[in-house]
Every structure is written in C-alpha cells, then in structure tokens.
C-alpha cells in the first residue's frame, strides 16, 4: 500500500554536517563539480538539488569536464537509447580520470535504481566511484563523504555502488541551485502508481507520494517573490495529486490556491494523465489568472486494443471527450502529446487508428517514440513480431503528420500579436532572444537582452514547424 516517509529536520541537518566535513576535506584549493542531466524535468529538478548540495559542500560549479574534480551524471532509464548514451559518456570519462586520478565520478538517477544496471557498472565501468538512486538525492552529502572515505581502500570496498530501496521519501528544505532566474520547476509529487505496461518509471521512481499543499504554496510564494515568472509544477501524473495526504485536496484545488498568489507570472504543469483529467481541472484552468492554457495530454496510442494492452485506462472515445471538454473550456488551448509507435503486437490497423486520431485532434506539438522494451515491465515480455524497419516506416509517417500539423498551427499565429515571456538569449543574430507564449510556443525575436525575464507584446511575423518569429509590438 501507500508508503510515505517525510525526512525529519534532524536528518536534513545531519546532511548539512556531512557537507561541513566535505568542505573541510577539500579546503586548500578550489574544487569544481559538474552535474550532467538526462531524462525528464523531474531529473532536472533533482539535479538542481544535487548542485545545491555540491555548493554547500564547498564545490564551485563548472560546465567543463576537464576542470571538474567531481562529475555527477543524473541518468534516465525510460528508453534504451537514453541508457546507451549515458553508458557511452560515462565510459569516456576514463580519459578524464587518467589525467586527473582524483576525479570522483558519481552516477545517479533512474538507471542507477535498476539492480542489473548497478551490476553492470560495478563490473564494467570502473571509472565510476559512486552509484546512487533517485531516492537518495536528499542524502547525497553522506554518500559523497563515504565515497571519499572509501577511496584508497582496496578492491570492491573502494567504491560505493548501492541504491536505497524505492521507498516513498518526501524531503523538504533541501538546498537547490536553480538553472534559470526566470523559469522554475516546482515538484508537487514524486513517483508513479499507474504502471503503464511499457514504462519503467514506477519501478525506479517508486510509489506516488505528494508534497503537502502548505509546503508547495510556500515554495511558490518564495519563487514569485524572488522574481520567477514561469513556474512549472512537476509530477508523473499531476492529476492524481493529493492521494494519501491528510488534507482533502486534489490537483485542481491546489492549482486554484497557487493561482491566488499575487504577481505577474505563468503557472504550468506536467504531466497530466488523460484518465484523471477532469472538467474541474479544465474549469479551474480557464478561470485562473496565471495558468497557461496548455495541456500535455499523452495519448500513447489511438487504438483501443493497444491502449488496453498499455494499461492506460481510457479508450479513444474517452480521450476525445476530454479533448473536447478542455477545448470547450479554453478555446485557445494549446494541446501537446506523447505517442509510442510499435508497441508489441501493434498492427498497421492499430497504427492507422493513432494516425487518424492525430489528424482529428491536431496537436500543437507531439513527442513521438518507437517502443523500447524495458526489462521488468510487462510489455517487455509480450510478443513483438513487427520489424524495426516497419516500425520506422510508421514512425516516419506519424512524424510527417505531426510536423505538417505543427507547421499549419504555427502559420496561423502569423500576423497576430501575443504576450510573451522573454526567457533567454539565443546567441544568434538577428533573433537574439527566445520567448514563450502563455501557451508555451517558442518565439524567437530581436531585442534588448535587458528584456530577459519580462513580459512583452510581440507581433508574429514568420513561422516554421518548430517555432515562431516575431518583432516587438
Ligand atoms: N508520466 C508521463 C510520462 C513519462 S515518460 C506520462 O504518463 O505522461 C515520457 C514518455 O516516454 C511517455 O509518455 C511515453 O510516450 C514515452 N515512453 C515511456 N516508456 C517508453 C518505452 N518503454 N518505449 C518508448 N517510449 C516510452
Ligand atoms: Fe510511466 Fe504511465 Fe506513470 Fe507516465 S503514467 S510515468 S507513462 S507508468
Ligand atoms: Fe527518465 Fe526517470 Fe524521468 S526514467 S523520463 S528520468 S522519471
């Protein structure tokens, strides 16, 4: 059943004491740390905490592998491709270690939570000094200190290769080095209980547990007060927020409370499982002052048979009903999705169901993936007779449709004026600034870099499949 353990203040303070010890150990010359992140926003958010700890331990942050005394790789296990990239890059760090034998290499994240992967790293990636899972980010200083103490010991004792069982830890008050001064992640929950049959996330991220509303509201208030303009609420399925809390609160309630925080900012959230997206959510979004009219509503497949095999708990008709309700509440809704092509047993007819649904719904943007078998998930054991080449043909067809529709949707912006948040510099000319519409569409524009962090009106002059181009209105 539900397991949720809040880290106590005492446990957190103990970690801070470990930071002091590490600080003392590395005193004498500047030490640099690099955190390399793969995967989703949850991992990016965890990496901000890792950087927070590293700074507290006395490290200066760097982007340079050559300069680094410590490299932490925060990994993703969602598809094989992601894992291969990580292993390739970790293997290549052997060169860095040859040059700097003092280098500490840590591998964390979702890949590291898998027993088989830890074993593989233990045997074949001797460059790695420490492996830790996503449930241990809160106690990174302790693990790092132990790793430092182990170095110099012999054989298997010289490295720390373990990961805690995936229990439902909730940790408040951890230090955090945010990547941006404009956009912020705000984790509202961790883990996932949905067990979609293809997905590794519930196995590596553990059971779903929500943060308390008061803690989330306090963090949001701090972010707004600190000048953040774009806050993204994070959870694998934000729509099931609140389950297991003492408070009687659901996601739309939380959103409505957050929306009351005064200020000029945009609220976004990811991800929203279609089975739990409700009319109440759409109504709260429509009535809110700050909430972006954007929903990322992963479809995965347009075939009822495949949706059932995927354990998604909705069918095509139900999905279309939700889209219609969301659009009725918000006529300017931006809708994006994820789709998996080539799920085991998928036929051409199933694929055509996906394609027809895509043509019917017309997403603003789509993230498309070819099915990747993940050891330990039910789908990995299902017969999968369709060749990779055939799946690629379907995938390309889907991508063509996605790109055509995105291009058409983007073209419809041209000539209009939209309020955007300028969120960064592109380093390119003449469109030197990047910005986002409230619905989350990317707009390149030319302007004074001092605009970064502010809202401004932009007239859209041009568009491509992937972006809009505009000038200050
Ligand atoms: N919790 C989010 C998804 C997180 S994973 C949600 O349910 O929406 C992001 C996307 O990766 C998924 O939506 C899915 O489209 C894709 N994905 C997950 N497991 C996969 C697998 N085994 N093979 C291919 N794509 C996968
Ligand atoms: Fe994976 Fe499904 Fe959970 Fe999303 S909802 S993380 S796809 S199991
Ligand atoms: Fe990857 Fe873990 Fe996110 S598997 S997609 S980093 S939750």
CATH number for the domain that contains residue 450: 2.40.50.140
* 321 plus 389 within the same structural domain: yes
**Residue 210 CB–ligand 2 contact under 6 Å:** no
Domain end residue (candidates: 130, 162, 194): 162
Q: Is 444's C-beta closer than 6 angstroms to any atom of ligand 3?
A: no
CA distance 175 to 163: 21
Q: Are residues 242 and 210 in the same domain?
A: yes
In a shared domain, residues 101 and 132: yes
Nearest alpha carbon, ligand 3 atom 1: 76
Name the closest-CA residue to atom 4, ligand 2: 236
* Atom in ligand 2 nearest the alpha carbon of residue 236: 6
Q: State the total domains in the chain.
A: 3
Same-domain pairing of 343 and 439: no
Same domain, 126 and 110: yes
Whether residues 302 and 200 share a domain: the answer is yes
| Ligand 1 center to 260 CA (angstroms) | 32
In this structure, the answer to whether residues 448 and 357 fall within a common structural domain is: no
Domain of residue 291: give its range.
Answer: 183-411
Q: Which ligand is nearest to the CA of 195?
A: 2
For ligand 2, the distance from its centroid to the CA atom of residue 117, given in whole angstroms, is 21
pTM for this model (two decimals): 0.96
The full 3-state SS of the chain, as one line of letters, equals: CCCCEECCHHHHHHHHHHHHHHHHHHCCCCCEEEEEECCCHHHHHHHHHHHHHHHHCCCEECCCCCCCCEEEEEECCCCHHHHHHHHHHHHHHHHHHHHCCCCEEEEEECHHHCHHHHHHHHHHCCCCCEECCHHHHHHHHHHHHHHHHHCCCCHHHHCEECCCCCCCEECCCCCCCCCCCCEEEEECEECCCCCCCCCCHHHHHCCCEECCHHHHHHHHHHHHHCCCCEEEEECCCHHHCCCCCCCCCCHHHHHHHHHCCCCCCEEEEECCCHHHCCHHHHHHHHHCCCECCEEECCCECCCHHHHHHCCCCCCHHHHHHHHHHHHHHCCCCEEEEEEEECCCCCCHHHHHHHHHHHHHHCCCEEEEEECCCCCCCHHHHCCCCCCHHHHHHHHHHHHHHHHHHHHHHHHCCCCCEEEEEEEEECCCCCCCEEEEECCCCEEEECCCHHHCCCEEEEEEEEECCCCEEEEEC
In ligand 2, the atom with minimum distance to the C-alpha of 311 is: 2
Identify whether residues 232 and 343 lie together within a single domain.
yes
Report pLDDT for 1.
42
Structural domain includes residue 445: yes
* CA 300 to ligand 1: nearest atom: 15
**Is 246 found in the same domain as 386?**
yes
Residues 6+ apart with CB under 8 A from 12: 138, 171, 172, 173, 174
Tell me the CATH number at 211.
Answer: 3.80.30.20
Q: What is the pLDDT of residue 2?
A: 56
Residue with the smallest CA separation from ligand 1 atom 4 is 236
Which atom of ligand 3 is least distant from the CA of 78?
A: 4
Q: Is residue 3 included in any domain, yes or no?
A: no
Digits of tens for pLDDT over the chain (473 positions)?
Answer: 456 889 999 999 999 999 999 999 999 999 999 999 999 999 999 999 999 999 999 999 999 999 999 999 999 999 999 999 999 999 999 999 999 999 999 999 999 999 999 999 999 999 999 999 999 999 999 999 999 999 878 777 889 998 887 677 899 999 999 989 999 999 999 999 999 999 999 999 999 999 999 999 999 999 999 999 999 999 999 999 999 899 999 999 999 999 999 999 999 999 999 999 999 999 999 999 999 999 999 999 999 999 999 999 999 999 999 999 999 999 999 999 999 999 999 999 999 999 999 999 999 999 999 999 999 999 999 999 999 999 999 999 999 999 999 999 999 999 999 999 999 999 999 999 999 999 999 999 999 999 999 999 999 999 999 999 999 99
pLDDT at 155: 75
Q: How many Å lie between the centroid of ligand 1 and the Cα of residue 309?
A: 15
């Amino acid at each position: 059943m539900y397991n949720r353990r809040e880290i106590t203040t005492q446990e957190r303070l103990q970690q801070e004491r470990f930071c002091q010890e590490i600080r003392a150990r590395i005193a004498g010359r500047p030490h640099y740390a690099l955190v390399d992140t793969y995967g989703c926003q949850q991992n990016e958010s965890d990496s901000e905490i890792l950087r927070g700890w590293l700074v507290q331990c006395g490290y200066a942050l760097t982007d340079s592998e050559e300069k680094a005394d410590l490299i932490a790789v925060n990994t993703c296990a969602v598809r094989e491709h992601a894992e291969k990239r990580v292993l390739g890059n970790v293997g290549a760090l052997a060169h860095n270690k040859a040059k700097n034998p003092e280098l500490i290499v840590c591998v964390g994240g979702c890949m590291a939570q898998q027993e088989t992967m830890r074993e593989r790293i233990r045997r074949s990636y001797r460059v790695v000094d420490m492996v830790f899972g996503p449930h241990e980010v809160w106690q990174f200083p302790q693990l790092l200190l132990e790793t430092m103490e182990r170095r110099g010991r012999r054989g298997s004792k010289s490295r720390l290769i373990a990961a805690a069982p995936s229990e439902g830890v909730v940790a408040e008050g951890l230090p955090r080095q945010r990547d941006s001064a404009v956009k912020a992640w705000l984790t509202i929950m961790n883990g996932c209980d949905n067990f979609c049959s293809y997905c590794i996330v519930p196995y590596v991220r553990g059971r779903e547990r929500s943060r308390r509303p008061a803690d989330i509201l306090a963090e949001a208030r701090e972010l707004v007060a600190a000048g953040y303009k774009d806050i993204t609420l994070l959870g694998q399925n934000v729509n099931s927020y609140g389950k297991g809390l003492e408070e009687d609160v659901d996601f739309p309630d939380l959103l409505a409370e957050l929306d009351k925080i005064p200020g000029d900012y945009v609220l976004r959230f990811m991800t929203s499982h279609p089975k739990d997206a409700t009319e109440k959510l759409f109504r709260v979004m429509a009535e809110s002052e700050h909430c972006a009219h954007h929903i990322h509503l992963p479809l995965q497949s347009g075939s009822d048979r495949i949706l059932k095999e995927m354990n998604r708990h909705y069918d095509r008709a139900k999905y279309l009903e939700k889209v219609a309700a969301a659009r009725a509440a918000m006529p300017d809704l931006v809708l994006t999705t994820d789709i998996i092509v080539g799920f085991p047993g998928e036929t051409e007819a199933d694929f055509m169901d996906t394609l027809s649904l895509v043509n019917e719904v017309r997403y603003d943007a789509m993230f498309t993936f070819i099915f990747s078998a993940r050891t330990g998930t039910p789908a990995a054991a299902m017969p999968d007779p369709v060749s990779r080449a055939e799946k690629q043909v379907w995938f390309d067809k889907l991508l063509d449709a996605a790109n055509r529709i995105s291009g058409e949707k983007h073209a419809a912006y041209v000539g209009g004026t939209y309020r955007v948040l300028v969120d960064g510099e592109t380093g390119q000319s003449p469109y030197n600034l990047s910005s986002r519409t409230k619905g989350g569409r990317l707009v390149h524009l030319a302007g004074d870099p001092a605009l970064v962090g502010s809202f401004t009106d932009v007239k859209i002059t041009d568009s491509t499949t992937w972006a809009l181009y505009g000038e200050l209105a």
